[in-house]
Amino acid sequence: MPGDRDADVCVVGAGLTGLWTAYYLKHADPGLRITVLEAEFAGFGASGRNGGWASGLIPGARDRMARAYGKPAVLDWQRAMNEAVDEVIGVAAREGIDAGIVKGGTLRVARTPAQATRLRHKVEQDHEWGVADSVLLTPAESVARIRIDGVTAAAFTPHCARLQPAALVRGLADTVERLGVTIHEKSPVTAIEPGRAITAHGTVRAPVVLRATEGFTASLKGLRRTWLPMNSSMIVTEPLPARIWREIGWEGRETLGDTAHGHMYAQRTADDRIAIGGRGVPYRFGSRTDHEGRVGERTIGQLTRTLERMLPQTAGARVDHAWCGVLAVPRDWSATVGLDRATGLGWAGGYVGHGVTSTNLAARTLTDLVLARDTRLTRLPWTGHAPGTWEPEPFRWLGVRGLYAAYRLADRHEAGGRVRTSPIATIADLIARRP
Amino acid sequence: MTATTAGRPAPVNGRVAHWFAELPAPARRCPATVTRMCASSAPD
């Protein structure tokens, strides 16, 4: 680089967190010089690889956060998340970003008695937590939406939109560039320090440096144990013919999930494919992350079987593509956003896989923090939250691998027909602190 | 559309996820290591 560069705000990471933040900062103060540094290309990480759920799900453990910050604060966080779903949709519409967005809500299905018990409990909890429009459906009502095999119970919430994640993040990158934000791709940052972000060939100096690196945070100096890079894998079928869609239904384009411990997430895409994801290999030793998103044969087989068991109508459909990526999991499974005014260092992330909407709320919160505004958003419970760090290796690897083996075992245990959650999963949740 | 390795679905044209594969090629944004001039002329 021909000498160091100066900016008012340097954002590290051109994923949704970084780009939403640049977007709102530039709108709030068009005179700000904002530089975004990106190791690969805009949307390379989870932002461009996820399941395309713009969901109102809180990226955190409601009970634990309420104990720490009070129930009213968590209720307001939930309201802000629900509103953020519509904000994502609104920005896409205003900026002309065609991301195939349909707000069809989320259908969550149970396919064993134990899953049904958990689902009913989850809806009761939702009502306690201010999500009054989360409703239980009978199996018949569920099948009227999507003809899934073996449904024992289902629940629906309207607070979710299906979208094409790469189209959203790419559109957002184009939008912020039009506003005057500078994005440098292929520019990996090796260290973040007060007043500067360091790349291999030069430094961007800025009084405010914002870390928006989510699953890749562990690769930064001093941050290896901050968030665990959790792997998730996806497959997508070929476009399915109208004949099969007549058998399946899914006219509402709901996002689709289940309540298994090793849960799956799916959507009917704008071009009539089914995209479905799940954990696969959950974690790599030393918090290593993949580069190209290659997925093993075994994971592809597992996801294909999950799809075909749920929707036998898809049997024999070609799998056109498979990939994986990393999301970030804080030690207490609760995301965080903040800015240290003394150092000018800010951060947002740890969305535990619920990032499409959370990134938007986090970015508006970061914007208020950078501009020193005391707002409703800066008082939400995740602002300044410190989730603690993960255990050192090899305990981290042994723990995560062990826990996910336990979840697989618990799912098999529950498939036998027991009504209550397998104690194997209950113990695993306690150890993992998974909400 | 699908690149395969031994018949296995694989990343498409280095775009990582299917979602990118169905979009037009992205505009290049120059690395911090070179000047803005690269945006229209230099390789990745």
State ipTM.
0.81
Residue A114 has pLDDT above 80, yes or no: yes
| A98 touches B: beta carbon within 8 Å | no
| A372 touches B: beta carbon within 8 Å | no
Min distance A376 CA to chain B CA atoms (Å): 35
End-to-end C-alpha distance for chain A, whole angstroms: 45
Interface touch A292/B35, C-beta < 8 Å? no
Q: Between A and B, how many residue pairs show a Cβ–Cβ distance under 8 A?
A: 101
A106-161+229-328: CATH superfamily: D-Amino Acid Oxidase, subunit A, domain 2 (3.30.9.10)
State how far the Cα of A295 lies from the Cα of A282, in Å rounded to an integer. Answer: 12
Find chain A residues with C-beta within 8 A of B36's C-beta: 182
A255 closest CA partner among A188, A158, A171, A185: A158
Instruction: Give residue-wise pLDDT tens across range A382-427.
Output: 999 998 899 888 888 888 888 888 888 888 888 888 889 988 888 8
Could you give the residue ranges of the DSSP H alpha helices within A57-202?
A: 62-69, 71-94, 113-128, 139-145, 165-179
Min distance B7 CA to chain A CA atoms (Å): 10
| A105 touches B: beta carbon within 8 Å | no
| Contacts of B34 by beta carbon, 8 Å cutoff, 6+ apart | A1, B42
Interface touch B9/A319, C-beta < 8 Å? yes
Q: What's the pLDDT at A272?
A: 97
Domain limits of chain A? 5-96+164-225+331-379, 106-161+229-328, 391-435
Q: In this complex, which of A187, A295, A320 lies closest to B2 when CB atoms are compared?
A: A320
| A1 touches B: beta carbon within 8 Å | yes
**A37, A40, A169, A186: best to mutate for the B interface, most B CBs within 10 A:** A186
Min distance A22 CA to chain B CA atoms (Å): 16
Residue A30 is classified by DSSP as T
Interface touch B29/A49, C-beta < 8 Å? no
Min distance A418 CA to chain B CA atoms (Å): 37
Min distance A188 CA to chain B CA atoms (Å): 9
| A300 touches B: beta carbon within 8 Å | yes
Q: Is A155 helix (H, G, I), strand (E, B) or coil?
A: strand
Name the band, by pLDDT with cuts 50, 70 and 90, for residue A286.
Answer: confident
Interface touch A234/B17, C-beta < 8 Å? yes
Q: In this complex, which of B1, B17, B36 lies closest to A48 when CB atoms are compared?
A: B17
Interface touch B19/A164, C-beta < 8 Å? yes
Residue keyed to tokens 């690897």: A397
As a whole number, the mean pLDDT across chain A is 93
| B38 touches A: beta carbon within 8 Å | no
| B39 touches A: beta carbon within 8 Å | no
Find chain B residues with C-beta within 8 A of A183's C-beta: 29
Residue A130 has pLDDT above 70, yes or no: yes
Instruction: Give residue-wise pLDDT tens across range A208-244.
Output: 999 999 999 998 888 889 999 999 999 999 999 999 9
Residue A25 has pLDDT above 60, yes or no: yes
Beta carbons of A334 and A37 less than 8 angstroms apart:
no
Beta carbons of A16 and A296 less than 8 angstroms apart:
no
CA distances from A133 to A63, A155, A157 (A): 20, 10, 6
Alpha-carbon radius of gyration of chain A = 21
Q: What's the pLDDT at A429?
A: 82
Domain A5-96+164-225+331-379: state its class: alpha beta
Instruction: Give residue-wise pLDDT tens across range A356-385.
Output: 999 999 999 999 999 999 999 999 999 999
Q: In this complex, which of A183, A204, A271 lies closest to B29 when CB atoms are compared?
A: A183
| B1 touches A: beta carbon within 8 Å | yes
Averaged over successive runs of 10 residues, the pLDDT of chain B (44 residues) comes to: 39 66 74 48 37
Instruction: Give residue-wise pLDDT tens across range A139-191.
Output: 999 999 999 999 999 999 999 999 999 999 999 999 999 999 999 998 999 99
| Contacts of A224 by beta carbon, 8 Å cutoff, 6+ apart | A218, A287
Q: What's the pLDDT at A397?
A: 86
State how far the Cα of A253 lies from the Cα of A163, in Å rounded to an integer. Answer: 10
Instruction: Give residue-wise pLDDT tens across range A241-265.
Output: 999 999 999 999 999 999 988 889 9
| B30 touches A: beta carbon within 8 Å | yes
